[in-house]
Structures are given as C-alpha cells and as structure tokens.
Amino acid sequence: MSQFAGLEIGKRAILAQRLGLDATSNNIANVNTPGYARQQVVFTETDPRALIGKGFIGTGVVVSQIRSFREEYFDREIRSNISRNAGFTLDDRTLQRIETLLHEPNNEGIGNSLQKFFNAFQDVSLMPEDIGRRQLALEAAQSLSQDFRTTAAAMQDLRKQTSESLATSVGEANRLLSDIAELNKQITTSKAQSLDSWTTLVNQRSQKLEELAKYGGSLYVSIDNNGHANVSMAGSTVVVGTTANILKLNETIDAGGERTSTIDIVNQQGATLVTIKPDSGEFASALKHLNVTLDDKDSSGGFSIAKDLNTLASAVINKVNSISVTGYGLDDAIAPVRNIFSGTDANSIDIDPSVAAQPRNIPLSSGAGLPGDNTISRQIAGLAGDSSFLSSQTPAVYYANFINRIATAGADASTGIKVTNTVGDQLNAQRESVIGVNLDEEAVNLIKYQRAFEAAARVVNATNEVLQTLISLGQ
C-alpha cells in the first residue's frame, strides 16, 4: 500500500469540506435574497480499495452533488397567489381613485348635487316669480351639470392613465419574457459546466416567473429535457425554449364608440398572432377597467361605472327637459319649448343657452303671464320622488345603489387582498421552511465543515510526518 494514499484521502477531504464551507458561506450571503433556495453539498464516499484477503479500505470523500431545495409545487401556488393578489391590488387602487372622483363617502359628489338641484326647484316653486330663487335654481342646475362633466372627464383621464400604466406593464412583461428565454439559454450551457451556477440560474428564473405572474395571470410552466422553462400565459405560449414572444397592447374603437383594449402576441413585424385573455393579475384587472368599468360606451353588460354615470346624466337631461318644454318663462307670451339642459350624457351635459344667465327664462309655469304658477317647478322638484325615474328607482335610490356597487366591488378587492396576503404568507412560510436559510443551522454547518477541514489538514500533516520519518530512515 502506498504511503501517498493518506495524502490523497486528506486532499479529497480538504476539498470536500472546503466546498461545504463555500455552500454555507453562499447560504449565509443569500439569507435575504428573494427566491433564493439554500444549497447543500452532498458528500459521497469514494470507491474503496480492496486489500487482498483482508477486505476493503476507504479512499476518502467527494462532493457528488450541490443540492438546491426548489419545490415546483410551492413555486406554482405562489405564482398563482401573486397573480390574484396583483389583480385585487389594482382593482382596489382603481376603485379607490373612483371613490375620490365621486367625492364619496363624503357625500359631496353628484348625489349631493342632484339633491340640491331638486331642492332648488322645490324652493323656487314656493316663489316662482322671485328672480333670486330662480337664480339659485339655475346655479344648482349649473353645479349639477358641472359635477357630471368634471367626474366624467376625470373618469376618462383615469382610463387614459390606466391604459398608459398597462402599456408600461406590458413592456415590463416583455422584458421578463426575454430574461426568462435568456436564462433558459444560460441554464443549458451552465448545466454541463457547473452545478453551482445552474442552481443559481434556476433560482433567478424562478424569481422572474414570479415577477411575470404579477402581470399575466395563470402561468403554466413546463420544464423540458433541456431544462428550459416553457411558459404559457392564459393558455397562450409566451416562452418556448430560448425564444420569447412579444406582447403588445392594442385598442380598437367600434362604430358605436366602444373601446376595446386587448393584449396580443405579435410577431416581429407587429402583426397579431393571438389575443391572450388573462384571468387574473394586473393585465386582467387593467383590461376589465379599460373595457368595462371606465368605458362609457361599454356593451358587455358588466358593471361600468362610466356608463352608469352617463345613464344617470341622460335620465336627468331627458326627464327634466320633457317637463320644461311645456313651461313658460316669466316673459313668454307663447310657448317657448325651452330645455333646461343641453347635451346628451355626462360628458356633454350643460345649461341650455336659452336659460343660461337668464333666470327669467327658466320655464316654471304652465301658462303665459302666470308668474305665480309653479306647476313646472313642482313637477321638476317632484322628480326626486319619481320611482320610475331610472330603472324603476328614484334618482336618490339609483345613486345609492350605484355607490353600493362601487363599495361592494371595493370591499371584494380589499377582502381579496387580505385573503391572498394570508395565503401568500402561508405559502411563503411553507416554501421558506424548505428552501430558506436558517442562520443558526448555517453556523452549525460552518463549525462542522471547519472542524472537518482542520481534521483533514491534520491527516495531511500526520501523513507528512510519517513520510518524513520514512525518508529519514534512509539517510
């Protein structure tokens, strides 16, 4: 038996324990790195040497594997939860902004203006000949129409901002798809070269997939034989091997003015290959708000706040004008057929030019030369209690139900955020318990590998001394 065998065993042990120290150091270094999966060296005894007639003797140790604790089950569940959470968060943010636009729940918005409008006409009905009260009624009408216009414009501004934000998100998703494809490429080449860099790249790709889940909703990830992650978003393939598809935000407007935004997969020339229909995540939420919530021409039948606002404005215009056209102003000798409001919806509602700044012209009486006749003003004031005003409801009840739907949608989003946060915490805790780093555990590993390293060094030292002794025998 060679005296150098001991040196070889010592060398192998030193190298193996050194790798253990490296893995531990890396774990400690990445204790706070998001998505990092702890690494562990797996030692394997090298093949023993046979001693004829005596049995086998060991030849030391090697590191056969650097194990990474990735769990695809948790990764998939966490991605799905991230997606739902992102959708709810965007819903909540959008609805919160709509609440602000509507000045609710401070009761200073359109509901309040509407009530003030009807109140002003009740007030003027007590003294329809009084110019001051007519002026107040006119101002109430002006205030109501201005509130409608301001809210409708702010709603369209919010839609524009949502669209711009979605375009940025689509750009970010494209960057992530490209990064994932690039990581797929690097993973193929690194696997052959280094186990260590392979696990690092897989960790990075996993992190990118989680970032992508925030935008795209349900992601289906399959790992092929080359280690490539092929990614589908809402059923449409977005990454195949080392190739990433390009996403693009498109908007079309039909003849009726209804706008439809879509996220399409396009080829290099920009031509649409397929339209994806995300079921959760920021894309799904933003598309819902662009195409339904904030589209005043929406025909989907979903809850469109902008459309409902338009419907209310149109009802106010039509109902009030249908009464006012039969009335007379203070100086009218013949029926003037005069509207109080002009426009057709929340965007265009305004005071009719025939009464603007001319309170004497407001048609409040049912006949010529009857300034004390308040028939028209009473009828307009009475609209406040008209249970067939809109959708078989009074204006106040319609508005309260409108607000209720926004409140309920907001509460659903808030609850969704809370639930997905809790689920996310649980999933992360479970995943963390498998892949996470425990500093105390690493400290023990550090001592363990350090001691083993020191012992292996002593083995080399002892073997060296034995060799020295043997060499000195021959001198």
Partner 1 sequence: MRITTNSQATTYQRNLFDLQERVDAENTRVSTGKSYQRLSDAPKAVVDVQRLTTIINTNSLYSNSLAETREELSNTESALQNFADNISEVRRMALESQTTANSDKLPVLGKQVYQMLQDLINQANANYGGKYLFAGTKTTDASITPTPPAVTSRPFELVQNAPDSANPSGLSVVFQGNNQDRIINRSLTDAERVNVHAADAFGGSGSEIFSKVIELYNTLTFRADGATRTSADPLTSDESSKIQDLARQFSDGMNVINNEIGKIGYRQSRFEAIVQQLGEENTRLKEIRSQQEDTNMPESLLNLKREQNALDYTLKIGSQLFTQSLFDFLR
Q: Rule CB under 8 A: which residues touch partner 1?
A: 31-32, 92, 95-96, 99, 104-105, 107, 111, 115, 119, 122-123, 125-127, 129-130, 330-331, 365, 367, 369-375, 378, 381-382, 384-385, 396-397, 399-401, 403-404, 406-411, 413-414, 421, 425, 428-430, 432-434, 436-440, 443-444, 446-447
Closest to partner 1 by CB, 346 vs 437, is 437
Q: By the 8 A CB rule, do 149 and 349 touch?
A: yes
Closest to partner 1 by CB, 240 vs 315, is 315
Pairwise CA distance, residues 298 & 218, whole Å: 26
Q: What phi and psi, each to the nearest 5 degrees, are found at residue 199?
A: -65, -35
Q: By the 8 A CB rule, do 23 and 38 touch?
A: no
Angle at 434 between CA 430 and CA 437, to 5 degrees: 110
Angle at 427 between CA 425 and CA 431, to 5 degrees: 115
CB of 303 to partner 1, least distance (A): 13
CB of 344 to partner 1, least distance (A): 26
SS3 229: strand
Q: By the 8 A CB rule, do 263 and 271 touch?
A: no
CB of 305 to partner 1, least distance (A): 12
Burial of residue 98 (CB within 10 Å: 0-12, 13-18, 19+) is buried
CB of 287 to partner 1, least distance (A): 21
Closest to partner 1 by CB, 154 vs 265, is 154
Closest to partner 1 by CB, 307 vs 378, is 378
CB of 297 to partner 1, least distance (A): 25
CB of 121 to partner 1, least distance (A): 10
Closest to partner 1 by CB, 104 vs 298, is 104
Q: Which helix (H) or strand (E) is 102 found in, with range? A: none
CB of 277 to partner 1, least distance (A): 27
Pairwise CA distance, residues 419 & 92, whole Å: 14
Cα 252 to the center of its chain, rounded Å: 23
- Residue 5: how many CA atoms within 13 Å on its side-chain side? 10
Chain position carrying tokens 């009719």: 352
Closest to partner 1 by CB, 227 vs 410, is 410
Closest to partner 1 by CB, 153 vs 429, is 429
